[in-house]
Structure 1
Amino acid sequence: MTTSAVRSRDEKLTLTEVCEELKVSRSTFYDWRAKRRAPRCIKLPNGDLRIRRSDLDHWLDDREDAV
């Protein structure tokens, strides 16, 4: 794996970036989080959330419909 590939998998996304990618509102994301249905998050000391690219990708893979 190249350095850039490792870096992109370890990239920390902002909540805004994740919501834009998923096309959901912030309130929907927080609702999922409250119900423990959101991807794993990192809570920073200032309260902001970050989501690792690899955690988001894994979370999406787990929700893929295998029809």
Structure 2
Amino acid sequence: MANPRDELLTIPQVLDELPGVSKSTFYRWRQLKKGPRSIKLPNGTVRIRRSELNRWLAAREDAA
């Protein structure tokens, strides 16, 4: 279960932490289920938990 203080990041905030990754590339990763797990809110916006982004990045590091 997520930490209650686990920050919910917007796509632009996530992209700020992934230098060189374009918005279109990130959305393609999501479509292919290769990106970090995300949350789609009832208003249609997408958020990614800080812990999920960190977990996803760590997994990429191990695979490198």
Q: Distance in 2 between matches of 1:46 and 1:15?
A: 15
Q: Which amino acid aligns with 1:14?
A: T
Give aligned pairs, total: 61
Q: Distance in 1 between matches of 2:8 and 2:48?
A: 5
Change (3 A) 1:66 1:48: closer
Which residue is 2:14 aligned to? Answer: 18
Change (3 A) 1:6 1:38: same
Mapping 1:1-67, distance limit 5 Å: 7=5, 10-23=6-19, 24-65=21-62
RMSD (Å), alpha carbons: 2.0
Displacement of 1:52 in angstroms is 0.2
TM-score, normalised via structure 1 length: 0.80
Q: Structure 1 residue runs of 4+, over 3 Å off? A: none
Deviations 1:10-67 (A, max 9, x none): 1000110001111211111100001110000000112111000000000000011477
Structure ID, larger Rg: 1
Change (3 A) 1:46 1:6: closer
TM-score, normalised via structure 2 length: 0.83
Structure 2 stretches lacking a partner, 5+ long: none
1:22 aligned counterpart, secondary structure: coil
Aligned identity (percent) is 59
Structure 1 stretches lacking a partner, 5+ long: none
